Amino acid sequence: MVKISARSIGLHRAIASIPVRPIIIALGLIKSLGFDFLAPDIVKRFSEDVTISTDGMRELLAGGPRRFESGVIAATDNWKLEGAL
């Protein structure tokens, strides 16, 4: 997910895996001090399970899921519009 988001905003760098929990805590602390760096909620999205069933969503919304990559790109675009990236 990180690689897809990075590519969608034109970044082509090496990506290292690090634990998400400490990042979320640090970003929450930074935000509570009044600095707007990166919303902790965005980082939380990167730890979500992408293998969950979409059957309930399809039934509720009467629609089909899109490719995972296109959803990540759309989310990244929205974060840019909101000024989070």
CA atoms within 13 A on the CB side of 32: 6
Which H/E stretch holds residue 31? helix 20-32
Interval 9-30 mean pLDDT:
84
Q: Per-residue pLDDT tens for 26-77?
A: 888 888 888 877 777 777 777 777 777 777 777 777 766 678 888 888 888 8
On the question of pLDDT at 79 being above 80, the answer is yes
Radius of gyration in angstroms for the set of CA atoms belonging to the chain, rounded to a whole number: 15
pLDDT of residue 64: 67
Nearest to 56 by CA among 46, 44, 68, 65: 65
pLDDT of residue 83: 83
pLDDT of residue 22: 86
Contact 24, 43 (CB under 8 A): yes
pLDDT of residue 65: 67
What are the two backbone dihedrals, phi and then psi, of residue 37, each rounded to the nearest 5 degrees?
-100, -65
